[in-house]
Chain A
Amino acid sequence: DTGVSQNPRHKITKRGQNVTFRCDPISEHNRLYWYRQTLGQGPEFLTYFQNEAQLEKSRLLSDRFSAERPKGSFSTLEIQRTEQGDSAMYLCASSLFYSPNSGNTIYFGEGSWLTVV
């Protein structure tokens, strides 16, 4: 399978616990994105990487969220001290980026569903 891979696919956790999601992008892709999606909404941007550099983190994210892409390949998204409002699907995506005018087709993984109880 050469697509974007995410795990775990589903996670149920108690409020206050920490969770970590992993994303393996398409191997030749230099860009990696994390989005969050709740029911009936479009994907909401969280953060993205160009190789191992984190380019931007959404101002909507609290300090409880952190993402890494240590070697420019896979990435992890950690949520500390989870809250019920964190319940959502966390989508990872990757792309091969050349320049803004060349377009930037994003390929999504199947997502990781988080339920905080």
Chain B
Amino acid sequence: GQQVMQIPQYQHVQEGEDFTTYCNSSTTLSNIQWYKQRPGGHPVFLIQLVKSGEVKKQKRLTFQFGEAKKNSSLHITATQTTDVGTYFCAGPVVKTSYDKVIFGPGTSLSVIP
């Protein structure tokens, strides 16, 4: 079945360093979403990308959707301790006229002050 994979599983960075997580799907996605989950919290929607090659920015976060719409990345510039958490990508599974969203395993980010 369709799978969404993410690397790395864990990343520890010094505060101020950059961070990137990569997401890959086994099939082409109509769109991709990114979520952040703080320790002890629930996933919170960050952004959605729809177009091939799309790049979106949110302050220090840059999201990119691959040309083939099978991969995506999230890059954080100059990490801060508030960036700590697990970042999930998620994409729809197309099945007949319905779809559901499946999540990757996430990348857990630790920021050392």
Contacts and interface: CB of A to CB of B under 8 A. Distances in A.
Contacts of B103: 35, 42-45
A21 interface: no
Contact of A45 (B42, B45, B50, B100): B100
A102 B44 CA distance: 19
Contacts of A109: 42
Interface residues of A, number: 24
Given A43-B88, A91-B42, A91-B43, A56 B100 contact: yes
Nearest to B44: A108
B43 A108 contact: yes
Given A101-B30, A106-B33, A108-B43, A56 B106 contact: no
A80 interface: no
Contact of B98 (A55, A103, A106): A55
DSSP class of B's interface residues: helix, strand, loop or mixed?
strand
B48 interface: yes
Interface in A31-89: 33, 35, 40-45, 48, 50, 55-56
DSSP class of A's interface residues: helix, strand, loop or mixed?
mixed
A92 to B, nearest CB: 10
A106 to B, nearest CB: 6
Nearest to A91: B42
Given A103-B31, A105-B48, A42 B88 contact: yes
Given A43-B103, A55-B98, A100-B94, 12 more contacts: A41-B105, A41-B106, A43-B43, A48-B100, A100-B92, A101-B31, A105-B33, A105-B45, A106-B35, A108-B42, A108-B44, A109-B42
Interface of A: 33, 35, 40-45, 48, 50, 55-56, 91, 100-101, 103-111
24 contacts: A33-B101, A42-B88, A42-B103, A42-B104, A42-B105, A45-B100, A45-B101, A56-B98, A100-B30, A100-B99, A103-B31, A103-B33, A104-B33, A104-B92, A104-B99, A104-B101, A105-B33, A105-B45, A105-B48, A106-B90, A108-B35, A108-B42, A108-B44, A110-B41
